[in-house]
Amino acid sequence: MVNKTRSPQRREDALSRDRIIEAAIGLLDSTGEAGLTFRALSEQLATGPGAIYWHIANKGELLVAACDAVIAATLAACADGETPEATVRALAVGMFDAMDAHPWIGSALIHAAGQLPTVRLFESIGQQVRALGVPQSRQWAAVSALWHYILGVGGQNAANRRSAQAREIGREGFLGEASAAWAALDEARYPFTRSLAEQLRDHDDRADFLAGIDLILGGIKAQSQP
Amino acid sequence: MVNKTRSPQRREDALSRDRIIEAAIGLLDSTGEAGLTFRALSEQLATGPGAIYWHIANKGELLVAACDAVIAATLAACADGETPEATVRALAVGMFDAMDAHPWIGSALIHAAGQLPTVRLFESIGQQVRALGVPQSRQWAAVSALWHYILGVGGQNAANRRSAQAREIGREGFLGEASAAWAALDEARYPFTRSLAEQLRDHDDRADFLAGIDLILGGIKAQSQP
DNA sequence: ACCTGAACACCGTTCAAGT
DNA sequence: ACCTGAACACCGTTCAAGT
């Protein structure tokens, strides 16, 4: 009759690392990076700010843990494609959608350099690059290009979101303003940017992201068979 | 005898937007992003924290302005190469070195989404992509890929620097630890990352960065002549 | 016009004290 | 073992008061 497993029978509402991370993700999603404070978090968990420190060392660790929970779930949900290329695309799209649903992931990933969530992602990309048949000596460059590109897009999208949110305009309003600003640039100094003003307003983030992935995949292929 | 230009004859040590930005850059370089506070800055300028607000709206604007000063100087110093490809490489290397000398630039650029410094960089890349002969319909994707890649590397390098600085180990110490961590990963779950542990320790950031640029340039060329 | 510096409303984090 | 919440040492920003 004695329960040998030492799973403690806690009150339903007991604090735990996982419950804290879950609440942190919710707070980050709903109020953005600036909205995650130990006071707001502890209020949501019906406790004091100090309680959280029993389970988590500091805010940095909390952010990395929240990021890792999302990344792990995202990578696990990415189905393998028919070809390595298709799998890379599925992985990239999965990451894009995760960063779109959780705009704080981009900057969290950058701050988590070298830690668990980045290793997960690096490994997933690396396995597919291997599967593509890229020779050893060029694997590093190939993974690095895909990796930095994905992080760059994530960071940029997150910044755009934050900017739009701060000024209480939606995606359309943000793109409209940015497009107008580009159109108003000095023709002599900014001819290229100016010419893309319209394209900026109408572009599709997701499709453009994938186009970039394909471009890099094309570069990888071109290197292998010159 | 009357001086019609209204350039005021200020005391040498009068505050100005430019002097504030200059001091901010110095503080960011020497103490990192966390070291830039209005108190530290005003102390360095021998004034009170409130004085700065007469010249600059808030901290965000200060960071963008500091970033813009560095970017403008960097782009101006990039010499044109013999070919568009060479110019893209010169531009990329210039940005890499700037981000290496001022590790805070990476995250500042990401936060400055859509503002002056990013427009400058976008324009510079765009003009070279045009010069490469990329057709209109593919210019956006090409610029976007280079752009996000450069930002991604900048953000990542900045994070690595900050991490190394926080733990008071140098670049070698940081890479040594990271390499050891990769080598200690579970072979079954992280075969790719594990296999690159040694390469991580010995790699050359700058050369790898350029390899990525070349890979993307290769992808752009491959798209144009399939 | 430009600067001063105290004051306000926040932070992350610590820690004695409780259960 | 786990939680409480007051307290500490900071922030960015404001603003009456000065020159």
Question: Chain A closest CA to B203's CA: distance in Å?
Answer: 10
How far, in Å, CA of A78 to CA of A200, rounded? Answer: 29
Residue A151, token pair as written in the block: 């992080």
| pLDDT mean over A110-121 | 93
Q: Who among residues 2-31 of A has its Cβ near strand D, under 7 Å?
A: 8, 14-15
Choice between A159 and B65, residue whose per-residue pLDDT is larger: B65
Q: Do B148 and A149 touch (CB under 8 A)?
A: yes
CB crowding A192-208: b at 16 or more within 10 Å, else e: bbbbbbeebbeeebeeb
Set of chain A residues whose Cβ sits within 8 Å of the Cβ of B126: 192-193, 196
Residue A224, token pair as written in the block: 């292998």
Residue type, A62: L
Whether B127 contacts chain A with CB within 8 A: yes
In percent, the amount of chain A with pLDDT more than 70 equals 94
SS (H, E, C) B78-119: CCCCCCHHHHHHHHHHHHHHHHHHCCCHHHHHHHCCCCHHHH
The count of CB pairs under 8 A between chains A and B is 163
Write the residue in B140, B151, B190 that is nearest to A119 by C-beta. B190
Q: Provide the residue-wise pLDDT of chain B in tens; the chain has 226 residues.
A: 333 233 333 334 789 999 999 999 999 999 999 999 999 999 999 999 999 999 999 999 999 999 999 999 999 999 888 999 999 999 999 999 999 999 999 989 988 988 999 999 999 999 999 999 999 999 999 999 999 999 999 999 888 888 888 788 888 999 999 999 999 999 999 999 999 999 999 999 999 999 999 999 999 999 877 5
pLDDT averaged over chain A? 90
Provide the whole-model pTM.
Answer: 0.91
CA to C1' distance (Å), from A14 to D2? 10
How far, in Å, CA of A143 to CA of B64, rounded? Answer: 31
User: Which segments of A80-209 are extended strands (E)?
Assistant: none
pLDDT for the residue numbered B226 = 59
**Cα angle: B191, vertex B197, B202; to 5 degrees:** 150
Three-state DSSP at A66 gives helix
Question: Chain B closest CA to A13's CA: distance in Å?
Answer: 34
How far, in Å, CA of A129 to CA of B45, rounded? Answer: 52
pLDDT for the residue numbered B223 = 86
pLDDT for the residue numbered B5 = 30
Q: Determine contact, residues B153/B96, Cβ cutoff 8 Å.
A: yes
Q: Do A140 and B199 touch (CB under 8 A)?
A: yes
CA dihedral A193, A195, A197, A203 (to 10 degrees): -100
Set of chain A residues whose Cβ sits within 8 Å of the Cβ of B113: 156, 159-160, 163
Shortest CA to C1' contact from B61: nucleotide: D12
Find residues 19-78 of chain A whose CB sits inside 8 Å of chain B: none
Set of chain A residues whose Cβ sits within 8 Å of the Cβ of B216: 145, 215-216, 219
How far, in Å, CA of A174 to CA of A213, rounded? Answer: 25
Three-state DSSP at B6 gives coil
* Nearest residue to B117 (alpha-carbon basis) of B160, B59, B68: B68
Query: Token pair 């004091």 is at which residue?
Result: A48
Q: Determine contact, residues B193/B185, Cβ cutoff 8 Å.
A: yes
CA to C1' distance (Å), from B16 to D13? 19
* Nearest residue to A160 (alpha-carbon basis) of B148, B103, B105: B148
B44 sits in which H/E element: helix B38-44
Q: Determine contact, residues A129/B191, Cβ cutoff 8 Å.
A: no
- Binned at pLDDT 50, 70 and 90, residue A3 comes out as very low
Three-state DSSP at B48 gives coil
Chain C footprint positions (protein CB, under 7 Å): 2-7, 10-16
How far, in Å, CA of A162 to CA of A177, rounded? Answer: 15
Query: Token pair 């990415």 is at which residue?
Result: A78
* Nearest residue to A128 (alpha-carbon basis) of A173, A90, A170: A90
pLDDT for the residue numbered A226 = 60
pLDDT for the residue numbered A198 = 93
pLDDT at A2 over 60: no
Neighbours of A162 (CB within 10 A): 19
Residues A11-27: tens digit of each pLDDT: 347 899 999 999 999 99
pLDDT for the residue numbered A170 = 85
- For chain B, state the CA radius of gyration: 21
Residue B32, token pair as written in the block: 């990192």
Largest CA distance in chain A: 84
pLDDT for the residue numbered B79 = 84
